[in-house]
Structure 1
Amino acid sequence: MSSGSNSGGLMSSAGLVRYFDNQGRDAITMNPKTVLAFCVLFGVFVQILSLTVA
């Protein structure tokens, strides 16, 4: 294997690591339980809406 060839191993994931390490301090943070509760409530809302409209 020559030094100029790229096997695609760790170098291909280096951009993702750099992206996730560079999260700003002013980013919006949400509690995962809040997101889960919103998804459940939205699903219940869609089910109720489909029963009343159809």
Structure 2
Amino acid sequence: MDKGQNTGGLMSSAGLVRYFDSEDDKAIRIDPKTIIVFGLLLGVVIQVLSFIS
């Protein structure tokens, strides 16, 4: 590899940073706490159903 050649380390991630920084007004927004609570409740429901059957 040539020493003067750029390997593109930062340039390869630049598109991802730009993509995730942009927000869409029409996108669904869910609070992270809501996802955690939903996951916990789903786990409890699955455990209860496994004990019943």
Indicate the TM-score class for this superposition, using the shorter chain for normalisation. 0.7 to 0.9
Aligned residues: 51
- TM-score, scaled relative to structure 1: 0.76
| Structure 2 residues not aligned, in runs of 5+ | none
| Structure 1 residues not aligned, in runs of 5+ | none
Aligned twin of 1:20? 20
Runs of 4+ in 1 over 2 A off after TM superposition: none
Q: Percent sequence identity over matched residues?
A: 53
- TM-score, scaled relative to structure 2: 0.77
- Matched AA of 1:21: D
Q: Measure, in 1, the Cα distance between the counterparts of 2:49 and 2:10.
A: 48
Q: How do residues 1-54 of structure 1 correspond to structure 2 at under 5 angstroms?
A: 1-2=3-4, 5-53=5-53
